[in-house]
Homo-oligomer: A and B are copies of this chain.
Amino acid sequence: MKKNRATMADVAKVAGVSRQLVGFVFQGKSGFSPEAAARVHKAAQQLGYRPNLAAQSLRRDSTKIIGVVFDPRESSPLEIIQSLYKVAANLGYEVILSAIGDDRDEDEAIHELIGYRCEGLILIASRLAEAKLVGLATEIPFISIGRQLDVSIADSVSSDGAMGLGLVVDHLAVLGHSDIAYINATTMLDADSRLKGFVDSATRHKLNHRIIDVASDYTEESGAAAAQLLLASASLPTAVACSNDQQALGLISALRVAGISVPDQVSVVGYDDSRVARFSFMSLTTVHQDAVELAEIALNRLIERISKPTLAAQASLTSVSLVQRKSVVAKSL
């Protein structure tokens, strides 16, 4: 038997107080003297005591745990996870991650989190069928990040893709580009709003524009495929807007392999402002979404829903901004 890790009782014994007092000290409640608290802290330190989170979760009225489902194969969720930890800690919640992958689907990841009695779930870039989401909503409060849901299903938060692509097209128009393209990753989540933002804005500016539809598991590959389509067309556009940064990486790489210079011959814009965009060989002008803002809205909304389950669902959009780097230049005459 190796139950050697210290418990509250061990700490209490060493500190010469009752077990309950140790609990009060660790919960930061009132009702103890500073001297006693000091003795408790010293004893805890000495024994290497850590509260048993399983026991806390079991005993508490609310477990104070939020479950997060994510796909490590995609890059955008990863930036959000960091923000979720930070924001959750401020709100007094623990976060438990559950990854999906080739051998582990979302159902399995969700069931594990329910096993830990999470009070609510955050699904990042979920591809779960709508019917399953509706069923899940009857089981546990959740919110979707990066996939906008109909308000009849559940809460969701996304960056404002329509506005983001509006900013992109505005920028291109100001720089004199009048023949532009949008690379539409058809299987990407929230693809529709980004596409709509592009089309609406291009139409408003009366720009000559085309849509290149591509579908691929690897997003970078979709960019490369789009590059081939563009190269095979009668003439290249002077600027290309992409669905996301990874796609832009594939597009730019494939164009350069073909001897096309970016940005001299073709300007390229991304979306997400992920780490890819900051590479020196990319220096990608892109739409920035604030991961902290996304995490804050998601968690606050989720916690609100946990306490008021009857709340009407809403689809929130976070603000976006254009980060100008060097992948876009004014149209050469």
Q: Footprint of B on A, CB under 8 Å?
A: 1-3, 5, 48, 50-55, 57-58, 61-63, 72-73, 78-79, 81-82, 85-86, 94, 96-99, 101-104, 111-112, 114-117, 139, 218, 220-221, 224, 250, 253-254, 256-257, 275, 278-282
Q: Which B residues lie within 8 Å of A104 (CB)?
A: 82, 85-86
Q: In the complex the two chains form, is A257's CB within 8 Å of B275's CB?
A: no
Q: Which B residues lie within 8 Å of A97 (CB)?
A: 96-99
The residue on B at minimum CB distance from A262 is B257
Q: Which B residues lie within 8 Å of A86 (CB)?
A: 103-104
Q: 29 A-B residue contacts at CB 8 Å?
A: A5-B117, A48-B139, A50-B111, A50-B114, A52-B58, A52-B115, A52-B117, A53-B54, A53-B112, A53-B115, A53-B116, A53-B117, A54-B58, A55-B58, A72-B72, A72-B81, A73-B78, A82-B104, A85-B99, A86-B103, A86-B104, A218-B279, A220-B279, A220-B281, A224-B281, A253-B256, A253-B281, A253-B282, A256-B257
Q: In the complex the two chains form, is B81's CB within 8 Å of A101's CB?
A: yes
Instruction: Report the Cα distance A114→B48, complex, angstroms.
Output: 11
Q: In the complex the two chains form, is B50's CB within 8 Å of A54's CB?
A: no
- Of B103, B224, B257, which one neighbours A85 at CB under 8 angstroms? B103
Q: Which B residues lie within 8 Å of A220 (CB)?
A: 279, 281
Further pairs besides A55-B58, A218-B279: 12, Cβ < 8 Å = A5-B114, A52-B58, A53-B116, A54-B117, A82-B99, A82-B102, A85-B99, A220-B281, A221-B280, A253-B256, A253-B279, A253-B282
Instruction: Report the Cα distance A250→B250, complex, angstroms.
Output: 13
The residue on B at minimum CB distance from A280 is B224
Q: Which B residues lie within 8 Å of A103 (CB)?
A: 82, 85-86
Q: How far is the CB of A169 from chain B (nearest CB, A)?
A: 26
The residue on B at minimum CB distance from A258 is B281
Given contacts A78-B73, A104-B86, A116-B54, contact A250 B48 (CB under 8 A): no
Q: Which B residues lie within 8 Å of A139 (CB)?
A: 48
Q: In the complex the two chains form, is A78's CB within 8 Å of B82's CB?
A: no
Q: Which B residues lie within 8 Å of A114 (CB)?
A: 5, 50
Q: In the complex the two chains form, is A221's CB within 8 Å of B53's CB?
A: no
Instruction: Report the Cα distance A280→B250, complex, angstroms.
Output: 9
Given contacts A50-B111, A218-B275, A257-B281, contact A85 B101 (CB under 8 A): yes
Q: Which B residues lie within 8 Å of A73 (CB)?
A: 78, 275
Instruction: Report the Cα distance A101→B254, complex, angstroms.
Output: 32
Given contacts A48-B139, A279-B224, A280-B221, contact A99 B111 (CB under 8 A): no
What 3 pairs between A and B have smallest CB-CB spacing?
Answer: A82-B101, A72-B78, A53-B115
Q: In the complex the two chains form, is B256's CB within 8 Å of A256's CB?
A: yes
Q: Which B residues lie within 8 Å of A281 (CB)?
A: 220, 224, 250, 253-254, 257
